Amino acid sequence: MSAGDAGLVNQKYALLPAFLQAKGLIRQHVSSFNHFIASDLLKIIKAKGNERVTCDADPNFYLRYTNIYVGRPSLEEDYIQTELTPNQCRLRDQTYSAPISVDVEYTRGKEVVIRKGKSGAGAILIGRMPIMLRSDRCVLTGKSEEELAWVGECPLDPGGYFVVKGTEKVILIQEQLSKNRIIIDTGTPALAARHSHGAVVASVTSSTHERKSKTNIVSKHNRLMLKHNAFTEDVNIVIVMRAMGVESDEEVLQLVGTEGPFASLLTPTLQHCKEEGVYTRQQALDYLAGKVKGSGRPASPAGGGGFTRRTRSRVDEARDILANVVLCHVPVVQFDYQQKVTYIAVMVRRMLYAKLDPSFIDDRDYYGNKRLELAGGLLALLFEDLFKRMNADLKRQADSSLSKANRATQFDIAKCIRTDTITFGLEHAISSGNWTIKRFRMERKGVTQVLSRLSFISAVGMMTRITSQFEKTRKVSGPRALQPSQWGMLCPADTPEGESCGLVKNLALMTHVTTDEEEAPIARLAHIMGVEPASLVNQSELRERGCALVFLNGNILGVHRRPKYFVRSFREMRRRGRVGEFVSVYMQHDTVQIASDGGRVCRPLIICDRGVPRVKDEHLQLLRMGKWNFNSFLHSGLLEYLDVNEENNSLVALYEADCGPRVTHLEIEPFTILGVVAGLIPFPHHNQSPRNTYQCAMGKQAMGNVAFNQLNRMDTLLYLLCYPQRPLLTTKTIELVGFDRLGAGQNATVAVMSYSGYDIEDAIVMNRASLDRGFGRCIVLRKYGTSLKKYANRTQDRIVLPAAAVGPASAPRPAKFRVLDRDGIAAAGEVLTQGEILVNKQMPTNTRDPVSNPAAMPDTFYRNAPVSWKGYTGGEKCVVDKVLLTSNDDCSCVVKVLVRHTRRPELGDKFSSRHGQKGVVGSIWSQSDMPFSERGLVPDLIMNPHGFPSRMTVGKMIELLGSKAAVCTGRFHYGTAFGEPAGLADKVESISQELVEAGYSYSGKDFLHSGITGEALEAHIFMGPVYYQKLKHMVLDKMHARARGPRVVLTRQPTEGRSRDGGLRLGEMERDCLIGYGASMLLLERLMISSDQFEVQVCTHCGLMGYKRHDGLAVCPLLRSPEHIASLRIPYAAKLLFQELQSMNIVPKLLLAEA
């Protein structure tokens, strides 16, 4: 760090808190949802197929939507409108949703009715929209910490999720290949193997509001063929072009490009066209008509509303397919194929380029070719589908009503609008995660997940998670590998291990995901800046030297004669704020691409002019003084967002010192390449890479504080730490995220030494006195709940104190009713023992037949359906923490009982540091047995030094040193990733200096005495504080053993699993061992006698199993006599098999011999 540039290097970090303050931690979800509410909704109701509902019976009838509104989250109960808060919804099992209303215009009889709502709401309610927390419509937005406290919400909670039926649901970010872009690929591996090279495929997945289709151009016998679902087989591309009006071969060549070997490469295709005898447009259309799928029956567009089409000629149909289905994103207005032909030519051209030079082949895994689909986009798809369904319903009602000749009343369609379709559709999709969109035949499962509230970090980590559409079972490495283009966009460390490794990713700290931006103004601007529309120039001019085609979101916009100048000035326009900040423009091969579509990942960078950063000290000064915010930097053209593609046109310097003359951008902070979860790790850049990945998985299992409102929540399972601490060694990410306010761990004094054998294999030895004083102490809260249902015969469930418990005060209550209060629900603060009833619920025995007086039925009418507490083995005592009585959406009473259990660490509980070093408690020793230092320090836990050499977690060692110095100096130390040059991480050298000043060894090693013998230890021991996390895996929840217990009814074998008190399985491999060893009697005992031994009577003559006669004698089923019956013991499962075989006419016979 030289003195000259120290200023900026040290200060530009200040941009990061400003960025997060302006945008929030999970801006991508919120901005996508806001965009959906603000503009997508209106676009959907104004779309061609949605705006009007018409009727076949009455041509004058129509219903037109003029506007749509989404209100504030509210709830109407007993005709009183109240504002909803998210926490209320969580507690009451409700959906946090707002009414959607529309303005309409429709005909009622002869008159036209215009209905408009007022004050920001529409006239007619059409459903309810679940509202994303912290979005514009959410009640939490813009509230101060104190105001948030009043509505029971945690200020650090990032939002970005939904509350549906009381559960928090996240719509995961979905990754997919970008739409409407040409991708040159090598095709399937099988294809590539056949043709050593040149098996290139150009494919485009077109996607518009109405339709999705995939178009491929493949090379077959050196002929270029169009492959599309609408055609029965591949068709020659030249024929297709001919059908679009390009009749001469010369024109084809001019379109594709006349230079180089293109002509010769196209010859076989042109030849084939000639062989097929296709010369004119009409011939081509005729030819294509023969290949159209469905042989004459028109393919009805999905979601079209089912109106009948006039039958058309097949040629018309082929023309229609070419216009609307093939490459449907390229607009064809009145059968003018000019644009589409040019587009096909570009595809062919790029394909031919790739044939000649494999470097032109695109990489599918390249992140510029990926788009992320967020909550907003997914909800838009779903909403449009539901909206169409609602309209179809309206139309059906209109049809059936208006077709009747004489109606009693005038048909008013506004009265027919039902809110259920949309409300339940949205609610159900979000709560189940099944995204079914009929018009695209899309059926996705697992789109939403329940927000994990294990720890604060697990919740935040979930909001940045990206899932890929790839199947997990496929053993391909490509999509799983870390792609260089993911730099700065996706966290390189945070991915799960195992089957979904590399397919589930996480966003980096500063990544932003774009939302759709209006294309028309951008196109207008581009034309003003000299882009000539492609239709206005000669085909040969398209390919002129120095010219470049300009694409906007994958569509050809036109040609520019000075593309580099155009790109430069377009960027300047963006920096001046004339174009949206997320619009990207870049050169790709010989084309200029402008992208404004949603789902691109991008991140902010400092702009440099010839290697001089534009951000100067004075700007940062303004920021510090609070006069500027992040957006001021953006609007002043000092920073800009770059997406993955545009990064390819830039040279980004990591540090200011690297800024050479060709550098165009400077990173804000290098550690922003990591995500939120990986940001918790101190000194991750000193660790072996997989260790950081392991920590990312484990940080989500660490117990601690969940949120500030954790004690007002009623989650099914909540793990809390009694005394959470903030780490002595923090990182900047920790501060930015708020982990220092909601910690999940404790600073334990660790001695790295081998002390007794109870610390081998990653086990740790703990100090009992530390545990006595509260180290690792945690609280487990578990919810038990029930609701009181109402039945059809007006009876309902009830909760009462049982008669046996009411009796005279002197008579003791039955044990299981001990904790019940007078209302039949356990009282808060009661200590529970095994098998006690928490809620004494009773259900009516008869819920169907009408009863005379449903309110006053005798006790005999009810049967018990209590909620009871199972409890832990070993006399662990739990306490009723609190009881909640409320009503849910169906107005039925809900009872929730929270049971609390405080646990101290015990043998076998799992702990981990922040470096992927997990271990279980191997032994707990008293303080007097632990070693002690010359300063009287006794470690909280002892860790084996063998954990270091193979794991190479140097970061942990530095953490220990740094924490020790932090304790000595009273200053929190930093370990931000890559932070040493910028002063965001303490250097080992300076830490050592501080240690020496405090009187410790520079190496962090101490002189220790054994606590057992009292002698000095030979080795110096590396000792100091390390932040340790207690993980949720605890012995108490897992330990299980059984001697005898329940059996499965069908097979009579022991049940499986701890929850069913199951047996411990002697599996196949164990069986193999016993066989190999020859322990046959043990085998027999384990597999039959102790499992499902059964005695059967077998007839020695016929070999069938007999049965017991009325006199108790076993008889043969055929001979019906008790003679020749032998008794033998077989597994019940075998007997079952024989009988099952018999039931399908296979007779197994047991042939017995004297042993």
Query: Which SS3 state, helix, strand or coil, does residue 921 take?
Result: strand
768 vs 910 by CB, closer to other proteins? 768
Enter the tokens of residue 883.
């009881």
Shortest separation between residue 711's beta carbon and other proteins, angstroms: 6
29 vs 900 by CB, closer to other proteins? 900
Cα separation, 398 vs 57, in Å, equals 8
Residues in a beta bridge with 106: 63, 113
Q: Crossing angle of helices 249-256/262-275, nearest 10°?
A: 150
Which residues of this chain interact with other proteins, rule CB under 8 A? 711, 722, 768-770, 772-774, 777, 779, 829, 879, 881, 900, 902, 926-928, 932-936, 938, 995-996, 999-1002, 1006-1007, 1009, 1011, 1013-1020
Cα separation, 470 vs 177, in Å, equals 11
Amino acid at 266: L
Instruction: Say if residues 513 and 173 touch (Cβ distance below 8 Å).
Output: yes
613 vs 939 by CB, closer to other proteins? 939
Shortest separation between residue 829's beta carbon and other proteins, angstroms: 7
Cα separation, 827 vs 838, in Å, equals 9
Instruction: Say if residues 301 and 441 touch (Cβ distance below 8 Å).
Output: no
Cα separation, 955 vs 959, in Å, equals 6
1009 vs 1086 by CB, closer to other proteins? 1009
Shortest separation between residue 846's beta carbon and other proteins, angstroms: 43
629 vs 927 by CB, closer to other proteins? 927
Cα separation, 795 vs 854, in Å, equals 5
Residues in the chain: 1155
| Long-range contacts, stretch 296-299, CB < 8 angstroms, 24+ apart | 299/230, 299/325
229 vs 990 by CB, closer to other proteins? 990
DSSP class of residue 336? B
1002 vs 1094 by CB, closer to other proteins? 1002
Pairing verdict, β 652-653 and 665-666: parallel
Please give the C-alpha separations between residue 189 and each of 3, 194, 473, in angstroms, as whole numbers.
Answer: 56, 9, 18
Which parts of 403-510 fold into alpha helices (H)?
Answer: 420-432, 456-463
Respond yes or no: is residue 762 known to be catalytic. yes
Pairing verdict, β 1021-1030 and 746-752: antiparallel
Shortest separation between residue 1005's beta carbon and other proteins, angstroms: 9
Cα separation, 742 vs 153, in Å, equals 14
Residues in a beta bridge with 189: none
Pairing verdict, β 591-595 and 548-552: parallel
The b/e string for 299-332 (b: 16+ C-beta within 10 A; e otherwise) is eeeebeeeeeeeeeebbebbbbbbbbbbbbbbeb
Single out the catalytic residue among 5, 234, 399, 762: 762
Nearest residue to 840 via CA among 855, 821, 859, 858: 821
Shortest separation between residue 809's beta carbon and other proteins, angstroms: 15
Shortest separation between residue 1001's beta carbon and other proteins, angstroms: 5
Cα separation, 579 vs 567, in Å, equals 13
Enter the tokens of residue 753.
């030494």
390 vs 707 by CB, closer to other proteins? 707
Residues in a beta bridge with 750: 941, 1024
Q: What angle do CA 779, 780, 785 make, to 5 degrees?
A: 140
Residues in contact with 121: Cβ distance below 8 Å, sequence separation at least 6, in sequence order: 69, 71, 99, 101
**Distance, C-alpha 572 to centroid of its chain:** 36
Shortest separation between residue 876's beta carbon and other proteins, angstroms: 12
Shortest separation between residue 971's beta carbon and other proteins, angstroms: 20
Neighbour count for residue 154 (Cβ, 10 Å) = 25
Shortest separation between residue 1015's beta carbon and other proteins, angstroms: 5
Cα separation, 789 vs 843, in Å, equals 9
Shortest separation between residue 900's beta carbon and other proteins, angstroms: 6
Nearest residue to 351 via CA among 241, 256, 267: 256
Kind plus residue range of the DSSP H or E element containing 275: helix 262-275
164 vs 1021 by CB, closer to other proteins? 1021
Shortest separation between residue 874's beta carbon and other proteins, angstroms: 17
Instruction: Say if residues 24 and 30 touch (Cβ distance below 8 Å).
Output: yes
Instruction: Say if residues 1085 and 1122 touch (Cβ distance below 8 Å).
Output: no
Neighbour count for residue 1076 (Cβ, 10 Å) = 8
Residues in a beta bridge with 953: 687
DSSP class of residue 597? -
Shortest separation between residue 995's beta carbon and other proteins, angstroms: 8
Query: Which SS3 state, helix, strand or coil, does residue 481 take?
Result: coil
168 vs 940 by CB, closer to other proteins? 940
81 vs 928 by CB, closer to other proteins? 928
Shortest separation between residue 619's beta carbon and other proteins, angstroms: 42
Residues in contact with 617: Cβ distance below 8 Å, sequence separation at least 6, in sequence order: 7, 8, 11
Enter the tokens of residue 672.
């922003």
Catalytic residues: 762
